Amino acid sequence: MKLRFGVLLASVCVFSIAGLAQAVDKTNTGCGLGSIMFKEQNGLLSNVCAATFNGIFGNQTFGITSGTLECSKPASFVSNEKLNKFVRENMDNLAVDISKGSGEYLMTLAVLMDTPAEERDGLYAKPRPTSRASTRRIRSPTRTCSATSSGSSSPADPSQGRHPTGCA
Amino acid sequence: MTIDMEGLPVDHTPVTLRSFQREVCLAVSRSVSPWILLLFLCLIASGPSLANDYVDTLIGRAEARELWNDPYWRTLVHYEKGLFGTRSLVDDPDFFASPRGKTDPRAELEATLRLLFQDPAPTDEGATGSAGDSLKVKSPICRFVARFEWLTEALDIDESRVPETRCEPFEDLYTAVGADAVSLIFPTSHMNSPASMYGHTLLTIGAASETSLLSHAINYSAVTNETFGPLYIAKGLLGLYPGYFSMLPYYAKLQEYSDVNDRDIWEYPLELGREEIRRLFLHLYELENINSNYYFFSQNCSYHLLYLLEAARPGLELTDRFGWWVIPLDTIREVQSAGLVGEPIYRPSKSTKVSFLAGLSSRTERHLARDIAKGGVSPSEEPMLTDDGLPKDTRIRVLDLAGEYLQYIYAKGEVEQDAYVPRFLGTLRARSALGASGEWRYSIPPPTAPERGHRSARIEAGTVFVRRGPGGHGPLDAFPIVAIRPAYHDLLDNGAGFKRGSQIVFAETGIRYDPRREKLRVEFFDAIDIVSLAPRDLYFHHTSWRIETGLVRRTDRSGGDPLVFHFGTGFGWAFEMPLLGLPYLMFDTESQFGGGLDPNYSLGAGGSAGVLGDFTSWWKFHLRGRAMLYRIGDEDDRLELEAGQSLITSTNTSLTVEVRRLRERDRSHTETWVSARIHY
């Protein structure tokens, strides 16, 4: 039962990944990261995914190899793949940093995007959505996204995060 | 058993000419016609008699030096000397090259050498365990990549004569992880979980960069689906769970600990060189999918991590320093005294951030932030959040607090996703309109680092003065007393480095001497005594609780005080009060069993109220009153009033006075304990 639930969620996560990969490509051509962050607001979904994976994998073995960020990808794709994975799995915390214009998650993003230190302030300032127009754009996909995941997702259940060790 | 979540191709084994030939041989020799010729070819190809000679030479060299007694070999195979001779702590047959490898370091060394000179084709040898699937694709060099590098150096192996000298999947992984910085990670205890109070450690490994979020967490943990509490604990104590190493992105671990479990994290950078980190990683790779029986208290998460550090730096002896009892925090101290640890870095959890920001805010601001997070107030419509309302800095803080708290309650499942998304975005939007805040505003001052708190074991020596008789005015007796406990922390101990309001006592034994009768007797035995006082406030609705079991002295009907076994629980609330500390109220139950009772059991319920005063670093007090009514079995009423205080004289020493007034069986007596306590 739990496994089936996990598979369902995993597939939802994969969908959101596909959407995001395209979005991030746009970022690289200069469309602004914030809009993506807010447009693809299934970061919340990504949180659920993360919590669920914790629950499932917490009860299973987990290889050394399979737990890495990108080990089997050709070197030239490494950075992009890492970036996608980081963004989709840390969307909530990243969104918080973006709203403040500073923070560890935002800095990590800059590192992943190979932004030189002197250009980072510009990057940090850019993504903040300020106008009402962007607000409206943000909302509609969010609803769609929540609808996709409703029924399958429960909020991050603290018990799922429980680690099965004596010294946990 | 391996979950290949990323769909990685598993088979990296290069097909060498020789293995190709063997496959052809097996396929064709079943067919009829030119089989004699082919068989002959096969014999030539797979009969590496020259290689065999070379292995014999190497084994000869190893024998001459008794290389199997080398400490590094013992580290690599996890050998320990025990009551029944040398044994490896690894329980997975796949980890050994020789069937006798678990108990025979010499046989294992020889078999490893022979295996490394064998045909590098996928081999079924040894692949009998549950993780066999992944091993079938691991070539000998990949199975024993750390052993090979060490043996090559120790025996001066000519690499041109080894069939395969490089494990490509390992090299890929090593490059991908960018292994040039390692940290030891200690997530502090989680308020309401007794298992976590014991602590946990893991490692991170990654590129030396300005952010640690991209490093990988290396974690050793037990694998189980057992959810039934008592069985879970019992099996863990008996080593009935397999333990495995795993690797995850560190940010995933942070989400688990920091965002969901409310655990602050300490990161201790380890001063290891690149070569050392490579050795650590080589050994980790050998342990992929290899299980060792997991024992909660001894061979646990923290203990097994030490092997990786020993593998990193030959000559390091960490595992030898622990016996039956491995406390994660003590392993950090060991690693520190081995000179490996740099200045620790503090990473506050989500709930710590919320508490910190709330502490900076006025009552109105706290309510406003909570209402935003709970959905009662919309940030875009609230007049206090406009330019005519609160000052800008205050608005920034209120919105940041609201955002953090909203994430917190979402992680706790207190808000549905459908409601969370628009609320979260609305809050962030309002926040981002106010511009950057500067992180300095939120730099939370780190508390005392856990390893700088008092040590885990404690010895106490002092005197108990007992006054019995009607109204407690009888003669005064004095008894010298000694108490010893292996772990960990109680409410009156020096609180620096420990979670506030938490107590976890394991196996404390008190022995009292009676000078008149010239006799020693066990005064008490606290098998487990855990208290968690978690204050409730506007943001957090914690339930405080306690659980204790062990042997205690109780007054019986004839006025004696026999030992009885007891098991008690309590649930209630604690609050934070300025100038007072933590007052609390609890509903308690207790079961007692023993020959001194009539009948030999009694069950009761009642309540307790108390206050823990801990607002200075050098003085603590604890006042408590408890009334218990035993109505099943041996009936009695019991009333306790207790006042304890402790003068903290240094990190590891304190002077304590506790006065206890007890009324049971309609008799009263007063006990005064005066003692000195030393943590060691």
Gap between the Cα atoms of B576 and B536, Å rounded: 7
A:131-150 residues touching chain B, CB 8 A cutoff: 135, 138-139, 142, 145-146, 149-150
Sequence-separated (6 or more) residues with CB below 8 Å from residue B371? B377
Structure tokens at B646: 């402790």
Q: Of the ranges A57-61, B79-83, B334-338, B476-480, which one carries the lowest mean pLDDT score?
A: A57-61
Given a cut of 50, whether residue B70 has pLDDT beyond it is yes
- The answer, for A151 touching chain B at a CB cutoff of 8 Å, is no
Among A60, A96, A104, select the one facing B428 at the smallest CB separation. A96
- Environment class of residue B36 by beta-carbon count within 10 Å: exposed (0-12), middle (13-18) or buried (19+)? exposed
Is the Cβ pair A67, B193 closer than 8 Å?
no
Q: Are B225 and B307 in contact (CB under 8 A)?
A: no
Given a cut of 50, whether residue A141 has pLDDT beyond it is no
Residue-averaged pLDDT of chain B: 84
Q: State the amino acid at position B550 in one-letter form.
A: G
- Name the pairing type of β-strands B241-249 and B487-489: unpaired
Structure tokens at B109: 């060394």
pLDDT at A156: 34
Is the Cβ pair B200, A163 closer than 8 Å?
yes
Query: Which residue is it, tokens 């856990």?
Result: B450
Is the Cβ pair B173, A64 closer than 8 Å?
yes
Structure tokens at B479: 């008894």
- The answer, for B283 touching chain A at a CB cutoff of 8 Å, is no
Is the Cβ pair B407, A92 closer than 8 Å?
yes
Interaxial angle between packed helices B105-116 and B49-65, expressed in degrees from 0 to 180 and rounded to the nearest 10: 150
Sequence-separated (6 or more) residues with CB below 8 Å from residue B184? B201, B202, B203, B267, B268, B270, B305, B332, B335, B341
Helix, strand or coil, per DSSP, at residue B552:
strand
Gap between the Cα atoms of B342 and B359, Å rounded: 31
Q: Of the ranges B24-33, B56-65, B302-311, B421-430, which one carries the lowest mean pLDDT score?
A: B24-33
- The answer, for A2 touching chain B at a CB cutoff of 8 Å, is no
Given a cut of 60, whether residue A75 has pLDDT beyond it is no
Gap between the Cα atoms of B162 and B13, Å rounded: 16
Residue-averaged pLDDT of chain A: 47
| B410-455 residue pLDDT tens | 988 889 888 998 899 899 889 888 877 655 567 889 999 999 999 9
Query: Which residue is it, tokens 């560190």?
Result: B250
pLDDT at B560: 87
Spell out which residues of chain A touch residue B324, defining contact as CB-CB under 8 Å: none
The residue with greater pLDDT, A137 or B305, is B305
pLDDT at B131: 42
Gap between the Cα atoms of B96 and B111, Å rounded: 9
Gap between the Cα atoms of A151 and A146, Å rounded: 10
Is the Cβ pair A102, B436 closer than 8 Å?
yes
Q: Are B217 and B247 in contact (CB under 8 A)?
A: yes
Among B1, B222, B432, select the one facing A164 at the smallest CB separation. B222
B621 strand-pairing partners: B613, B645
Query: Among the ranges B297-301, B474-478, B645-649, which has the highest mean pLDDT value?
Result: B645-649
Given a cut of 70, whether residue A168 has pLDDT beyond it is no
Gap between the Cα atoms of B516 and B47, Å rounded: 85
- Most distant CA pair in chain A, distance: 52
Given a cut of 60, whether residue B109 has pLDDT beyond it is yes
Rounded to an integer, the average pLDDT of B475-492 is 92
pLDDT at B146: 94
Sequence-separated (6 or more) residues with CB below 8 Å from residue B317? B71, B310
Q: Are B175 and B285 in contact (CB under 8 A)?
A: no
Which contacts qualify for B194-198: CB closer than 8 Å, 24 or more apart?
B194/B504, B194/B530, B194/B532, B194/B547, B195/A165, B195/A166, B195/A167, B195/A168, B196/A168, B196/B261, B196/B263, B197/B488, B197/B499, B197/B502, B197/B504, B197/B530, B198/A166, B198/A167, B198/B327, B198/B328, B198/B488, B198/B504
Helix, strand or coil, per DSSP, at residue B361:
coil
pLDDT > 70: what percent of chain B? 86
Interaxial angle between packed helices A75-89 and A104-112, expressed in degrees from 0 to 180 and rounded to the nearest 10: 160
Q: Are B666 and B636 in contact (CB under 8 A)?
A: no
Q: Are B503 and B531 in contact (CB under 8 A)?
A: yes
- Which helix or strand (DSSP H or E) is residue B281 part of? helix B274-286
Given a cut of 80, whether residue B5 has pLDDT beyond it is no
Q: Are A85 and A109 in contact (CB under 8 A)?
A: no
Structure tokens at B178: 């960018």
Nearest in space to B364 (alpha carbons), one of B391, B327, B339, B325 = B391
Rounded to an integer, the average pLDDT of A23-47 is 29
Is the Cβ pair B417, A150 closer than 8 Å?
yes
Nearest in space to B94 (alpha carbons), one of B177, B1, B26 = B1
* Dihedral, CA of residue B251, residue B202, residue B224 and residue A60, to nearest 10: 40
Is the Cβ pair B213, A86 closer than 8 Å?
yes
Gap between the Cα atoms of B145 and B285, Å rounded: 8
Question: How many helices (H) and strands (E) are present in chain B, helices listed first?
Answer: 19, 23
pLDDT at B678: 97
The Cβ of residue B542 has, within 10 Å, a number of other Cβ atoms equal to 18
Spell out which residues of chain B touch residue A66, defining contact as CB-CB under 8 Å: 2-6, 8
Question: How many helices (H) and strands (E) are present in chain A, helices listed first?
Answer: 8, 0
Gap between the Cα atoms of B233 and B248, Å rounded: 26
B608 strand-pairing partners: B586, B626
Among A64, A100, A150, select the one facing B285 at the smallest CB separation. A64
Given a cut of 50, whether residue B313 has pLDDT beyond it is yes
| B543 DSSP 8-state letter | P
- The answer, for A62 touching chain B at a CB cutoff of 8 Å, is yes
| B259-306 residue pLDDT tens | 877 889 999 999 999 999 999 999 999 998 888 888 877 788 888 899
pTM over 0.80: no
pLDDT at A124: 65
The residue with greater pLDDT, B114 or A36, is B114
pLDDT at A71: 35
Q: Are B187 and A168 in contact (CB under 8 A)?
A: no
| B200-217 residue pLDDT tens | 889 999 887 778 898 999
Query: Among the ranges A92-106, B246-260, B512-526, which has the highest mean pLDDT value?
Result: B512-526
Measured in angstroms, the CA of B434 and the nearest CA of chain A are apart by 8
| B631-641 residue pLDDT tens | 999 999 999 99
- The answer, for A79 touching chain B at a CB cutoff of 8 Å, is no
Gap between the Cα atoms of B410 and B136, Å rounded: 44
Nearest in space to B94 (alpha carbons), one of B57, B123, B67, B52 = B123
Q: State the amino acid at position B538 in one-letter form.
A: L
pLDDT at B191: 61
| B499-547 residue pLDDT tens | 888 888 989 999 999 999 999 999 999 998 989 898 999 999 989 999 8
- Which helix or strand (DSSP H or E) is residue B277 part of? helix B274-286
Q: Are B298 and B325 in contact (CB under 8 A)?
A: yes
Sequence-separated (6 or more) residues with CB below 8 Å from residue A166? B195, B198, B222, B233, B236, B237, B294, B295, B296, B297, B300, B301
Q: On the CB side of B237, how many CA atoms lie within 13 Å of its CA?
A: 6
* pLDDT confidence bin for B474, thresholds 50/70/90: confident
Given a cut of 50, whether residue B52 has pLDDT beyond it is yes
Given a cut of 90, whether residue B64 has pLDDT beyond it is yes
Query: Among the ranges A71-75, B50-54, B423-427, which has the highest mean pLDDT value?
Result: B423-427
Nearest in space to A113 (alpha carbons), one of A82, A92, A135 = A82
Sheet containing B345-347: order of strands: B292-294, B241-249, B216-222, B202-206, B181-187, B265-270, B345-347
* pLDDT confidence bin for A14, thresholds 50/70/90: very low
* pLDDT confidence bin for B615, thresholds 50/70/90: confident
Q: Of the ranges A88-102, B172-186, B385-399, B618-632, which one carries the lowest mean pLDDT score?
A: A88-102
Is the Cβ pair B200, A149 closer than 8 Å?
no
Gap between the Cα atoms of B179 and B143, Å rounded: 20
Measured in angstroms, the CA of A27 and the nearest CA of chain B are apart by 19
**Helix, strand, coil % over all residues of chain A, rounded to 5:** 70, 0, 30
ipTM: 0.77
Residues present in chain A in total:
168
Helix, strand or coil, per DSSP, at residue A56:
helix
